[in-house]
Amino acid sequence: MNWDNPYIYALGKFVAINVTFIGVLMIVAYTVLAERRVLGFIQGRLGPNRVGYGGMLQPFADLLKFILKEEIVPDKATRFVYFLAPIIAITAALMSMIVYPFGPDVTLPFIGRIRLVIAQFDVALLYVLAITSVGVYGVALAGWASNSKFSLLGGLRAAAQLISYELSLGLSLVGVVLMSGTLDLYQIVEQQSGWYGMHWNLFKLPLPQVLGFVIYLISAIAETNRVPFDLPEAETELVAGFHTEYSALKFALFFMAEYVNMFTVSVLASTLFLGGWNGPFVAQLPLLGVFYFLAKVFFFLFLYIWLRGTLPRFRFDQLMSFGWKFLLPVAILNVVLTATALYLWG
């Protein structure tokens, strides 16, 4: 197919965006189901297993329920901001999907050779960080606009937490960026393709990014408000935190945004540290790359669920001092070590 033709190019991008959109939303829906089933397994119960085979249709039943439920808007809510907040949350979460590198160049029947990424540009990594940092507004404004003390406390906590952990998250990625010399996610993945597809930044010389990887994982969990850092929605103290006053589809949007963000940080983890679509025999069979990529992402999603079933919640001051006094200095140390190693042996 002739990709130089602007119409075909635009149509191709349109189709690619829609396929990715639906694919990501399906993965998100089944992550929710997996979370409930795995949590059930961890806690010695069954979890939802009645709708469809083994509960496979449960996400759709939930969605239908979210759509059909009554919308309740608090009387004293600031209506405009109250409606704006979930839109900001889900838009910011979904916008980062255009830079996910799903796989290498593949040759598909009837279509020809295509690259499995929607947009490849110079600052892709910064773009993801920027878009996710805008997502804070969804949470903070939801807390403010609901005019409820639980929501406000949840929103304030979320704003403080996300700002604090964004720093160590960003700094933990600097090591990888230093080693790759680019911010383009696709090129970062391509550089990890040696050693039969096992030349991952996690093991790569001169300095394996193990430290950066651990810091990234911890701060990514805090960035997505997951256990053990789910202070903004701590149900034992804040009812449901920033989304206490949200119901029906607006609540579903927050819920989806949280899981899309989980997916995004998992994608970044596998892309930057675990080689993205790289693995054995990808050079012979490019479509295998998509499988490797999704397998790595699913591993991180499973890790999230596993942690939720295992760990208790932090106290808020512990969270803050951990982020600022431990994670941030260690992240800076990682940057210094990587730069030194690159200077000496790079």
Partner 1 sequence: MIIAALADYFPMLLFAVLFLMAVGAAISLVTQRNPLYSAISLVFVFLSLAGLYILLAAPFIAAVQVIVYAGAIMVLVIFVIMLLNVEETEQPGRARLRYLLPTAVVLAAVLFAEAAFIIFFVHGTGVDRANAAAPANTGLTANIGAGLFTTYLLPFEITSLLILMAIVGAMTLARRASVLRPTDVIVPGAQSLTRHTLASTQLSETTPVITHTTAEAERALGLSNAPHRRERG
Count of residues of this chain found to bind partner 1 when the rule CB under 8 A is applied:
36
Q: Does residue 331 touch partner 1 according to CB under 8 A?
A: no
- List the Cα angle 326/318/128 in 5-degree steps: 60
Q: Which positions from 73 to 92 touch partner 1 by CB under 8 A, shown as an x/- string?
A: --------x--x--------
- Least distance in Å: CB of 200 to partner 1? 23
* CA angle in degrees (0–180, nearest 5) for 210-214-219: 145
CB closer to partner 1, 45 vs 76: 76
What secondary structure does DSSP assign to 204-251, as a single string? -SSS-THHHHHHHHHHHHHHTT-TTS-GGG-HHHHTTGGGTT--HHHH
CA-to-CA separations, 306 to 41, 142, 178, in angstroms, rounded: 10, 28, 32
Q: How far is the CB of 263 from partner 1 (least distance, A)?
A: 20
Nearest approach in angstroms of CB 174 to partner 1 is 12
The residue type at 147 = N
**3-class DSSP state for residue 117?**
coil
Given 1, 26, 56, 163, the residue binding partner 1 (CB under 8 A): 163
With CB under 8 A as the contact rule, the residue among 131, 234, 282, 327 that binds partner 1 is: 131
CB nearer partner 1, residue 9 or residue 299? 9
C-beta of 123 vs 285, nearer to partner 1? 123
Q: Which of 191, 261, 271, 183 is closest to 221 using CA atoms?
A: 261
226, 304 in Cβ contact below 8 A?
yes
> Which residues make up the interface to partner 1 (CB under 8 A)?
6-7, 10, 81, 84, 121-123, 126-127, 129-131, 133-134, 136-137, 140-141, 143-144, 152, 155-156, 159-160, 162-163, 166, 170, 181-183, 317, 320-321
